[in-house]
Structure formats: C-alpha cells, structure tokens
Amino acid sequence: MIIQDKVIVITGGASGLGLATARYMANEKGARVAIFDMNAEAGHAAAADIGERAMFVETDVSNDESVRAAVEAVVATFGTIHVCINAAGLAGPSKVLGKDGKATSLARFAQTIAVNLTGVFNVMSKCAEQMATNEPEAGEERGVVINISSGAAFEGSIGQCAYAASKAALLGLNMPAARELGAVGVRVNAIAPGLFMTPMVNELEEKVVASLLTVVEAPKRLGDMREFAHCCAFIIENAYLNAETIRLDAASRLRAR
C-alpha cells in the first residue's frame, strides 16, 4: 500500500512510539493521521504540532461507544480509514501473588487485558469495517492493521503476568484475523518491540539505562523511535507481508528479573 495521502489511525498516538509514528507518517510519508488517546492535552498538542494532516480524538479503546464515535469522527473528517496501528497499552505490573502472599487483585489484571487486548480488538474491528468499504489498491488491498505486541509476549519477566499475557494474545490474534480479513483485502501483522529510547526512558538515571542495555545484543543501544516508525511503514508498504510478527529488538531477550 502506498502511504501518501492514506488515513492512518494510531492509538496511543499522543506519546512515545505512537507519537513518533504519527509524526513520521504525516511529515515524511505524507499520510493523514488520526490520533486516538485518553490524554486530551497531549493529544491536541500532538495534532497541532503535526498540522493539517493530523486530528485528535479523545478515545477510550476499551469502550465500545467511545471507539465507534472516534472512528465516525475520522471518517467525517478524512473520508475513510486505510491503516490502523494499535499502540495504546498499559504496563500493568501484576504478579500471581502479592508481597503478602495473597492473590493479586483481579481488577488490576482485568484492566490491563481490557486495554491491551480487548481494546486492540475493539479498534481493529471497527477500523476494518470501514476499510472493507475502500476501493482496493492495485486490485488487492483495502487496509492494513498493525498490532503492537512486546518482547514480553515471548519472555515475560516476573511481575508481568497481565502485560505478557495480553501481548502474547495479540500474536494469537494475528493468523485468524489475517485469514478472515484477507477476504476483504485487509492485512493484519504485529510488531514486538524491544527497548526503545522513549521520553519515559530518557528520564531514567544513567545507571538504570545501562542496566537495560545489558540485555540488548547488537547493536548495543536502545532503539530509535524512528526505527519503530520505519518498521510500521515497511509493513504497510509490503503487500505480501501478512499474519507475521516482527521482533524489533536488536536480539534482546528479557530476563526473569
């Protein structure tokens, strides 16, 4: 799919990897981007910074009506949706048992699942409904979905039960969704990013960053957010890539602790 002038929905697009991708797609690829995020202040600021190629919609991805209204707002403004990048997520620290030996709160576990898994399905399905009405590009594809997983989907650390489970579930979602939506010309892929130099990481002490680097193999550095955005662009542009998960992590593997 050619990215120029396409409409891209990015959840979690007001900060971090989502924001970096929104900027990259609009400023360097000529796309129109719709930022879905709960942070209204950051979202409006991001859209204003990008300019006329961007819009912001305050959205709770775990809420059915919120996402439906957000998708309708995008269609009303930009006419359609071609790409959906699901980058919104909660870290949601969660063990099986707490420090007191008691079972972890189910509500905490459920909240992470609601955003990281149910929220992804919610946005993907409503965007795919719109994508299916597009005219097929090159006679074959109408849309692209990119769901953001994590290295924790493969090697979750202690305390990541909810997060790792939610991110692993996205990998299971890939194949059946790609097989189903392929019939209407929509591809579904995932990215499992490793450690990236996000604004949050930038604020960490030098010794903490050095500790993170010990699990990164080569290149021996944290990822540049533009490299993540570039990976999203590659998935969009390569029409033969479907139902795959790309581990974008410099061969890093998370430790137990």
Give yes or no for residue 3 having a pLDDT over 80.
Answer: yes
Burial of 27 (0-12, 13-18, 19+ CB in 10 A): middle
Closest CA to 166 of 200, 192, 201: 192
Alpha-carbon separation of residue 18 from 43, 76, 85, 187, 228 (angstroms): 11, 22, 8, 20, 9
pLDDT of residue 210: 84
Query: At 254, is the pLDDT very low, low, confident or very high (cuts 50, 70, 90)?
Result: confident
- CA atoms of 161 and 41, how far apart (whole Å): 31
Continuous segment of H or E residues that includes residue 145: strand 143-148
Report the percentage of the chain scoring pLDDT > 70: 99
Least confident of 73-82, 134-143, 196-205, 224-233: 196-205
pLDDT of 207 > 90? The answer is no
Look at residue 203 and tell me whether its pLDDT is greater than 80: no
**Could you report the per-residue pLDDT of 162-183, keeping only the tens digit for each?**
999 999 999 999 999 999 999 9
Domains of the chain: 7-194+223-248 (3.40.50.720)
For residue 146, what are its two tokens? 């990119």
Q: Which two tokens stand for residue 23?
A: 């900027």
How many residues belong to the chain?
257
Sign of CA dihedral 117, 119, 120, 125: positive
Residue 130 has pLDDT above 90, yes or no: yes
Q: Specify the long-range contacts of residues 54-61, CB closer than 8 Å, at least 24 apart.
A: 54/22, 54/26, 56/14, 59/11, 61/11, 61/36, 61/86, 61/88, 61/115, 61/119, 61/120, 61/122, 61/123
**Active-site residue list:** 163
Mean of pLDDT values over 78-102: 93
Name residues whose C-beta falls within 8 Å of residue 135's C-beta, 6 or more positions apart in sequence. 142
- Nearest C-alpha neighbor of 195 from the set 239, 235, 157, 233: 157
* 209: pLDDT strictly greater than 80: no
Over residues 8-17, the mean pLDDT reads 98
For residue 206, pLDDT over 90 is answered with no
More confident: 158 or 5: 5
% helix, strand, coil for the chain, step of 5: 45, 20, 35
pLDDT confidence tier of residue 200, bands split at 50, 70 and 90: low
Q: SS3 sequence, 83-96?
A: EEEECCCCCCCECC
Average pLDDT, the chain: 95
Residue 204 predicted with pLDDT over 70: no
* Residue 67 near residue 126, CB atoms below 8 Å: yes
